[in-house]
Amino acid sequence: MSLRQEKGDKIRGPGVLVPFYTYHVKQMVDLLGKEPVYINTNEDFTPNFEAVQKALDNGLDLLLFTNPGNPQGNLWSKEDILRMVEMTGKANCLLMIDEIYCDLVWKGDFYSPIQEAELFKHVIVCRGFSKTLGAQSWRCGYLVAHPTMVERVMRIHDPIYISVPWQQHAIGQYIQNHLDDFNHHVTEVSDLMQSNWRLLSVAIEKYLGWTPIEPAGSMYGMFKHHAKSDKEAIVKGLSHGVGVAPGKIFWPNTPDNTGYIRIHCGISAEKAKEIVKVLEEKSSKQ
């Protein structure tokens, strides 16, 4: 039974905005048994509200997006988020926002609906520590929602986990007793990723000819490639000693050519400089 579904109700289905984080789709299929509705965004990755409204009119139980975005690194405006909150509320649709990168905002003002004086009853905000603490895939996080929603979540969550994972106790004590250290670490990680992006985006554009799309947050950066397919772009990158993620894995039905690739900026400064050096050397030999 889904969080929206009451006894006897029919599950209408979930939806995601395109491009999407791959595991969101996998988890929707595994947990709900349904492929999500894929909702296209505008060319600059801002929400296409006509497409959102059409999907809501056709019936959604849950709509999910990431802010800041993965893979695109976009940052949602306060106005767009509140409009999405209003639209989903009117459609009796849960709105789930993955804010795992909320501590890694590079530029612009970050807004979350949990900043409002009263929590929206249909909105669930998910956060965690795996990215900011450099422990990717560490399942240690939390959600913020209206008390009535938290109660419904606990009916499903508590029987699965029985008790709070021990990691939660450790991170709770760390933040309670060493918040200054945590904030300092977050700043250092964010500065490192921004520095790596500035270095790598210039070199990749110069030596591979891909156009960088300036990210506002997260730990990734996207490029517009000019190859005939995402695979061809990957092969070109590999021929220059660089491995990248194809855009196709973040689009429905894995199309041959989305025109995009994504890089990861969560590496050491030394590694970023090494990548630039490899690009220079490989390019000089071709």
Domains and CATH numbers, the chain: 14-166 (3.40.640.10), 181-285 (3.90.1150.10)
Q: Give the residue among 44, 43, 90 at the shortest CA–CA distance from 63.
A: 90
What is the model's pLDDT at position 7? 47
Q: Is the pLDDT of residue 71 over 90?
A: yes
pLDDT band at 9 (very low <50, low <70, confident <90, very high): low
| Beta strands per DSSP E along the chain | 14-18, 37-40, 62-66, 94-98, 123-128, 141-145, 211-213, 220-224, 245-246, 260-264
Contact 247, 209 (CB under 8 A): no
In the numeric block, the tokens 């000819």 are attached to 209
Which residue carries 């070109």 as its tokens?
A: 236
How far apart (Å, rounded) are the C-alpha atoms in residues 152 and 97? 17
Tens-place pLDDT, residues 121-173: 999 999 998 888 877 777 778 899 999 999 998 888 778 777 777 778 888 89
Distance (Å, rounded) from C-alpha 100 to C-alpha 161?
21
Q: Mind listing the pLDDT tens digit for each residue in 79-99?
A: 999 999 999 999 999 999 999
pLDDT digits (tens, 9 = 90+) for 181-220: 999 999 999 999 999 999 999 999 999 999 999 999 999 9
